[in-house]
Structure 1
Amino acid sequence: MIERKTDITQMTISQLETKFVSVYTKLILSGTAFKVFPSVMLWGPPGVGKSQAVKCIAEKVAERTGRKVVVTDVRLLLFNPVDLRGIPTANADKTLAVWLKPKIFQMDEREDVVNILFLDEISAAPQSVQAAAYQITLDRTIGEHKLPENCIVIAAGNRVTDKSVAYTMPKALANRLMHIEAVGNPASWIEWANLHGIHPYVIGFISYSPATLMEVEPSMDELAFPTPRSWEMVSNILNYVSDNLDEVIQLVAGCIGKDTAYCFKAWTEMYGVIPEISEVFDGSLTQIPKRPEVVLALTSQIGNYIQEHHSSIEVKNALDYVFLMPIEYRSQALTSFLGVKEIRKQLQNDDRFCNWFLRSGRDWDDYR
């Protein structure tokens, strides 16, 4: 885990999702008003995955509660106070000023809907905008406008130590929020990546070189540097443009920087020595490669291949092969199996998989 000294709770993106999906699900199913639970302030460096976590929380809460969950994503850096407070106009008899309701307050108030108001980049917004945003976060109102009862408020921002635009939060305001610091964690990111179509080259490289997931303190003059967000951008290039690094190396370097990009390219060149992945699933491959980097690359390919090839015999053959691997290489491949809903029953009936699952501290409720 990539950590810093801090006086607030640190969580990986995966831990954030698990914890707050559980919390909000309990509040919804028990009929508890959201206003009794403190608004959440997520801190973390650019690109660590705060926005992605909020989207995943919304998706999983919808699955567990049967409610429609709508995220209103407000990038406060692009707002001014009028955007939040509304525009003043005369009342019907032109004796008083009233404020037209801003679009962000026009939410669906039906009981079968949950709204999440996500105030992103709150620490980078102009202080006049911050003041308005903090009123929303603390009081669920701004001026005469009030958030509906079915609205959750989550804010996010960068720390003043992140070398990005950020202002220190006043203590009086800070004391009224729940503060969580999102931290980078290669293992949890790889688990997420296996479930979200991240290119196997990227997954394999981060498995091989975990420190390259995120540059903790990029220099002030660096514009392109590795973060979970920029690696997802690289994955999109490989998935949708070309996975030939000779063709797209300049594009990749534009996302993660030249040094990291050329290290990544050098690593991908050894993919030619990886066994044919289909042989794992048809049961004909029984030998484990001797080179660690090849084993890591193979596990990422297994995780990618099983998304589309998961008949019962293919799953059995893949499990047989993975359990031939040294124990330190198994987790990535086995975790990727959990992302395929169609095979979870078969996994639950496999003693080897269940033993690994329990030892890893997981809960089947998280994979419903």
Structure 2
Amino acid sequence: MHSALTVTPAELPALLLHVAVVRPVFVWGAPGIGKSSLVRAFADSLGLPCVTLVGTQLAAEDLIGVPELRDGRSRFAPPESIARTEPYCLFLDELNSSSPEVQKAFYSLILDRRIGSYELPAGSIVIGAGNRATDNALARPMASALVNRLVHVHLRASATDWLAWAAGAGLHPWVLDYLTERPDQLWVAPPKTEEPFSTPRSWHMLSDALRSFGEGVDEATVRLLAAGTLTGQHAAGFTAYVKTVRHRYGLDAIVRGDAGWPRAATDRDLLYFFAEAFRARLVKELPADRDHASRPVRDFALRAKGLLVELAEISLECAQLVVATDDDGMPVLPAWFLVEVTRDLPRLVAARA
């Protein structure tokens, strides 16, 4: 299930506060963007214990319970984790990954807030969550009867929200600083093959691993940890970034003219990192209309054209990366800058020669 209307992690709690208290809610979203942790944090903010049932780990009898004899009659006794006397948050994680029989067992619990003769205490809330079929995760079609019993909310990853949370949570400064510069690498769509890919969860795992190794972690280990948690391109970029931090050598120094593009063959990963960072800097600082560019911005654009010439002398591929179109073939950099690059590059090359 997809929707063009989505909410960010910062927007979700307020929505749940008004909706989940009156109707069960289902939170859709890609793997690793924080659905489970957001629900648990929301329950905690209400002072409610959070009871999590994972759909892929349940059988129908885990919900409806087993029969017991009482006063000569049999009745189903729901499991102790559910049958509580005080209000709580019932979190049905991976609900749409559960078998059809388990989904059916959820019907009365979700709609009528009861299982057999047991009824959820007043003040309890029910929230489900799951991945979409297009996320290459285990997800079964949800029966229309179950779909119609839930209010559906679609969550998207937000670099702004995640970075604000991560700063307060004490994540590793390398991770925070890198994603501040490259927020576009916080999350990618899950690949079709079994390989690591970047999500808020995987960046958190990388941070925990770096914290565990401490300040003395060597470059080879950083590369290993990044490759084991992130998309390959992002892992290479992060490893190169760590190298720049340790050598106190960054893009700002190149733009100022205090340093040049790295030329050594052993620093080719660093060159690619700087090229991507340079592209991101141009996207961020150059306005769509040249008439809106201040004098410092125009000076920066002029300096950028010279840097492109220097970069092309070392690696034409990296220079092309800076001005390349996006995946849909659309220009990323402003049209006026691309026109000036096309016009001025031959003159700049001749001047350097």
Aligning the two structures, in what range does the TM-score lie when normalised by the shorter sequence? 0.5 to 0.7
Per-residue CA deviation, residues 44-68 of structure 1 (Å, 9 max, x unaligned), is: 011111011112212333xxxxxx3
Q: Offset of 1:6 from its aligned partner?
A: 1.7
In the alignment, which residue of structure 2 is the partner of 1:80?
59
For residues 33-44 of structure 1, what are the structure 2 equivalents within 5 Å?
Answer: 34=21, 37-44=22-29
What SS is found at the alignment partner of 1:155? strand
* 1:100 and 2:41 matched: no
> 1:160 is matched with which residue?
133
CA drift at 1:209:
1.6
Counterpart residue number, 1:12:
8
Separation (CA, whole Å) in 2 of partners of 1:233 and 1:222? 18
TM-score by length of 2: 0.65
Give the distance between the partners of 2:39 and 2:2, measured in 1 at CA: 24
Q: Using a 3 Å threshold, how does the CA distance of structure 1 residues 241 and 135 change in structure 2: closer, same or farther?
A: farther
Matched, 1:181 2:177: no
State the distance in 2 between where 1:17 and 1:51 align.
13
In 1, the alpha carbon distance for the partners of 2:236 and 2:114 equals 50
* 8 Å CA contact retained: 1:105, 1:146: no
* Among candidates 182, 188, 200, match of residue 173 of structure 2: 200
Q: Deviation per CA, 1:210-244, whole angstroms, max 9, x where unpaired?
A: 2211112x322133111111111111111223352
Task: Identify the residue that residue 95 of structure 2 maps to in structure 1.
Answer: 122
Equivalent in the alignment of 1:51: 36
* Counterpart residue number, 1:91: 70
Of residues 194, 202, 205, the one that matches 1:222 is 194
Show structure 2 runs of 5+ residues with no match.
256-283, 286-353
Higher mean Cα deviation, 202-211 or 170-179? 170-179
Residues paired across the two proteins, number: 256
Which structure has the higher relative contact order (CA within 8 Å, separation 6+)?
1
- The Cα of 1:189 is off from its aligned counterpart by 1.2
Displaced runs of 4 or more, over 6 A: none
Residue in structure 2 matched with residue 319 of structure 1 by the alignment: none
Partner Cα separation in structure 1 for residue 254 and residue 25 of structure 2: 41
Kindly provide the amino acid, as one letter, of the partner of residue 234 in structure 2: T
Distance 1:292 1:199 in 2: 26
Distance 1:83 1:15 in 2: 33
| Aligned counterpart, 2:245 | 271
Secondary structure of the residue aligned to 2:52 is strand
Decide whether the 8 Å contact of 2:29 with 2:131 is kept in 1. Answer: yes
Could you list the runs of 5+ residues in structure 1 that have no partner in the other structure? 28-33, 62-67, 276-288, 294-327, 330-368
Question: Paired residue for 1:304?
Answer: none
1:280 is matched with which residue? none
Read off the aligned partner of 2:141 and give its amino acid letter.
T
Q: Which of these two proteins has the greater Rg computed from alpha carbons?
A: 2
**Correspondences of 1:1-368 after superposition (within 5 Å):** 6=3, 9-21=5-17, 23=18, 34=21, 37-61=22-46, 68-93=47-72, 96-109=73-86, 114-216=87-189, 218-243=190-215, 244=217, 245-272=219-246, 290=252
Give the fraction of aligned pairs with identical amino acids, expressed as a percent.
31
Shift of 1:257: 4.2
Q: CA offset at residue 20 of structure 1?
A: 2.9
Deviation at 1:69, TM superposition (A): 2.0
Q: 1:273: Cα distance to partner?
A: 5.5
- State whether residues 237 and 252 of structure 1, in contact with CA within 8 Å, keep that contact through their aligned partners in structure 2: no
8 Å CA contact 2:44, 2:50 repeated in 1:
no
TM-score, length basis structure 1: 0.63
Cα offset for 1:101?
2.3
Aligned position for 1:355: none
Distance 1:291 1:118, change over 3 A: farther
